[in-house]
Structure 1
Amino acid sequence: MNDLKFKRGLLGAITIFFWAAQYIYLPFLTPYLLSLSLSATAVGIILGAYGFTQMMLRIPLGIAGDIVQKYKLFIIIGVFLAGISSIIIMLFTKSIIILIIANGISGIASATWVSFTILFSSYYDDSDGLKAMGKLNMFLNMGVLFAYVLGSLMIETLGFNALLITRFVFGVVGCILSFFIKPETTVKKTNVNWQSLASVMRNKKLLVSSGLCAVAFLILYATVFSFTTSTLKEIGANGFQIGVITSLFSIGSILISFIGTNGANKLGSKNMIWISFLLIAVYCAGISVSSSVWIFFPLQFLCGIGGGMLASTLMGMVIKNVDMERKSTAMGVYQSIYGVGMTLGPILMGFLVQYTSKLSSFLCMTLISLACMVFTIVSYQSVFGVAVEKKLDKEIPLQTTETKG
């Protein structure tokens, strides 16, 4: 038991350092890139590179992990890449191509997250799989929140490069800790192969859940994780305020994980999805017309609740609607599909900001979110069926979710 506690604690600590490295600079990246006189479209492409490499590599890395069964190796590589990409950004900030490559490398790091989840779940019984993911996601959000708070305190006095150096330090510490992971002896086969992939890709429920998550991530990566921060900068917010406001998204997601099992879950999965899209739409609409920094505080918190509830519900639906032997394959497909949204969101938003206006751009995201809300209300029963909804209402615990990967 003590050995299991050590394994869980060690991987939890590595997870905190890993995601702290990935997030400490994120709220300030878009304003920083725009300060280099880059166009909004160029900034969107640079930010979209993060999701693109994840989209391309989630499934191949899952298959590779199943073949070699060396999850420790993938974790070491992932944490190392998270740190080294910051040095590349710092040294080559004037080259758009290098910036795209650097953010793509950061995406490769996040693509190794599947190895974290598989290894951590092996420390629990099969019946405790959702409990394991809940705890791992708790470590993830601890790292994100720590990064946001520290970044907020550092940015005004030490500048953006100090965040990149801190990110590198986090990566180095996490990488060193990763070498102490004991060799995998109890990890079970993930059943990720091309045959199971083809079978999973015919699952309509999985595809609809993944598609909704992809659209949600498109909106969130177009706003929360990219152009919301530049909008804040334009209306006079300082670095500390930007960091605090960004933190409220994570706080909202963490809060919904605590009240979800006994509270929001009673709404039913259908209602949770459409209400989440409504909250995100309110957030986008509010930002489109807001000229005060202070309005962003409640809006960001509200979006965190909506985003956290939506992503956790959709992830639970993927788990519940796929046979046991294909769950890992399903998660690989799910993560790859939502990577499409992470890629296209910043690119689309950058194009809209450059060629229309901030108002039109955020209103466009509002309409997309409302369209998903209507689709859920109208089509949920025909896709998932009433019986599935009742089962989900009883069994899916809310978890905080990975907002960057």
Structure 2
Amino acid sequence: MAAVERLGDEITPAEARGRLGSSRFYFLGIVFLFWFSSYIYVPVLSPYVEHLGASYVMVGAVLGVYGLMQILFRLPIGIGSDMMNRRRPFIYLGLIASGASCLLFLAGAHPGWALAARAVSGIAASAWVVYSVMFAGYFPKEEAGRAMGMLQFTTVIAQLTSMMISGYMVEHWGWNTPFIVGGIVAAGALLLAFRLPEQQLEKRNAIQLKDLAGVVKEPLLVRVSLLSVLAHCVLFITMFGYTPNQALYIGASKESLGWLTLAFMLPHAVATLYGSRLFGRWLGDRGTLVLGFAGSAVFTLLIPSMPTLAALCATQIGNGFMQGLIFPLLLGKSVSGVAPFKRATAMGFYQAVYAIGMSGGPFVAGWMSAGYGLRGGFWLGAVAAGLAALLSWVWIREAGASGKQSRMKRQGAGR
């Protein structure tokens, strides 16, 4: 009913639902373009930086600064959006920064420019906090899980589409092509975003910082945030990190990196949209997380021993599916039970914390790869996934048990 009131008192409920549906798909279109511009160069990023003459340590720094900037910016952006009671300016920020990062990659053929460009792209990704809560605002609170599934699926499809053509463009038109296309797409998305109406949030008294501070003390939020650190550590060591280097190391061409991307992202998209719900019914949240993390540990450990591109793609099919089980579950749990006017803060905390994995994972993996070869980084990813499987078994069970105890206490008090 609240959705109808936001859309106006002079229209019927059916018309209101139609407009709301149109708003959702318009917003998802902007989301698609945002991630397309941000990920079009990701499959060739680490080979590109290595091509510029950087060491594995420098490659790790370029990959890791993306997460570092999100550690610094995501929570302030979430708090700022909640306190201003506005979403749209931060949507603009993400698109402008995404386009600017592509321009910086074009500024010079030195690893330092790549480092600066990837740092700006980290600021762009920090705005994802607001994208997430704004899209959740198009749905009733009880449909937050459905909203996050749609958002995650759109993200994965955008990443798949852009990353599939990245290697082909480099092979045929040179290293700079993905950066040029990414900048053009970001500019187009910004023009579309100017027509995006500001979301009408519930009118409240001015929100004080102290009102938002308690959000970051929620036990479930803290636990799923730490699990997401490990999940993103694995993701940014493997497909978004060093797996393309491994493919080139065993003799694959740059153009064939598209097949590697497809092998990971297609099952990842399927698992994101359907896997969590299906396995959740069979295994529950804890069982699904344990399966996803344990499976990812196995497939990550196998990566450096694969002798051919086809065998390497087989590990990516498994890894993509297993990681696709994890992310929607953790994302949905991060805002479950949080009041709408505090959701950007909760999401900002969640995304700032998991950015530690995006930053620290590839940086430490780069250091290990310098000492032990690429296999050292993949060993680190496998250990991180295995640890997350163990923590999921312990923490999710404890969260369920404590919730059951709380319900029993409330029932006893009622008697």
Do Structure 1 and Structure 2 share a fold, with TM-score over 0.5? yes
Once the two structures are superposed, the pairs formed by residues 4-403 of structure 1 within 5 Å of their partners are 4-96=20-112, 98-186=113-201, 194-256=209-271, 257-320=273-336, 322=338, 326-378=342-394, 380-385=396-401
What is the Cα deviation at residue 177 of structure 1? 0.7
* Alpha-carbon distance in 1 for matches of 2:249, 2:307: 10
* Alpha-carbon distance in 1 for matches of 2:397, 2:206: 30
Structure 1 pair 270–5 and aligned structure 2 pair: CA distance change class (3 A): closer
Structure 1 pair 68–205 and aligned structure 2 pair: CA distance change class (3 A): closer
Q: Deviation string for 1:328-386 (max 9, x for gaps)?
A: 43222111110111110111011111122222332232223223323333554335427
Give the stretch that moved more between structures: 53-62 or 249-258: 249-258
Q: Is the 8 A contact 1:85 1:106 kept in 2?
A: yes
* Alpha-carbon distance in 2 for matches of 1:310, 1:190: 37
Structure 1 pair 202–124 and aligned structure 2 pair: CA distance change class (3 A): closer
What is the Cα deviation at residue 192 of structure 1? 7.6
* Alpha-carbon distance in 2 for matches of 1:289, 1:341: 24
Q: Which residue does 2:13 correspond to in 1?
A: none
Q: Which residue does 2:413 correspond to in 1?
A: none
Structure 1 regions of 5+ residues with no counterpart?
A: 392-405
* Alpha-carbon distance in 1 for matches of 2:206, 2:342: 6
* Alpha-carbon distance in 2 for matches of 1:190, 1:145: 43
* Alpha-carbon distance in 2 for matches of 1:101, 1:332: 23
* Alpha-carbon distance in 2 for matches of 1:178, 1:66: 20
Task: Give the secondary structure class of the aligned counterpart of 1:38.
Answer: coil
Q: Is the 8 A contact 1:50 1:107 kept in 2?
A: yes
Q: Deviation string for 1:380-401 (max 9, x for gaps)?
A: 4335427669x9xxxxxxxxxx
Structure 2 regions of 5+ residues with no counterpart?
A: 1-15, 408-415
* Alpha-carbon distance in 2 for matches of 1:60, 1:115: 11
Give the alignment's Cα RMSD to 1 decimal: 2.5
* Alpha-carbon distance in 2 for matches of 1:237, 1:246: 13
Q: Is the 8 A contact 1:216 1:341 kept in 2?
A: yes
Structure 1 pair 286–249 and aligned structure 2 pair: CA distance change class (3 A): same
Q: Is the 8 A contact 2:264 2:313 kept in 1?
A: no
* Alpha-carbon distance in 2 for matches of 1:207, 1:146: 33
- For 1:41, give the aligned amino acid: V
Which of the two has higher C-alpha Rg?
2
* Alpha-carbon distance in 1 for matches of 2:77, 2:350: 14
What is the Cα deviation at residue 188 of structure 1? 6.7
Q: Deviation string for 1:138-196 (max 9, x for gaps)?
A: 32222112112232432321122111111011111101111111233346779986324
Q: Is the 8 A contact 2:82 2:342 kept in 1?
A: no
* Alpha-carbon distance in 2 for matches of 1:22, 1:388: 42
Give the stretch that moved more between structures: 254-263 or 324-333: 324-333
Give the number of equivalent residue pairs: 389
Structure 1 pair 386–217 and aligned structure 2 pair: CA distance change class (3 A): same
* Alpha-carbon distance in 1 for matches of 2:308, 2:368: 22
Structure 1 pair 63–372 and aligned structure 2 pair: CA distance change class (3 A): closer
Structure 1 pair 376–126 and aligned structure 2 pair: CA distance change class (3 A): closer
* Alpha-carbon distance in 1 for matches of 2:197, 2:285: 39
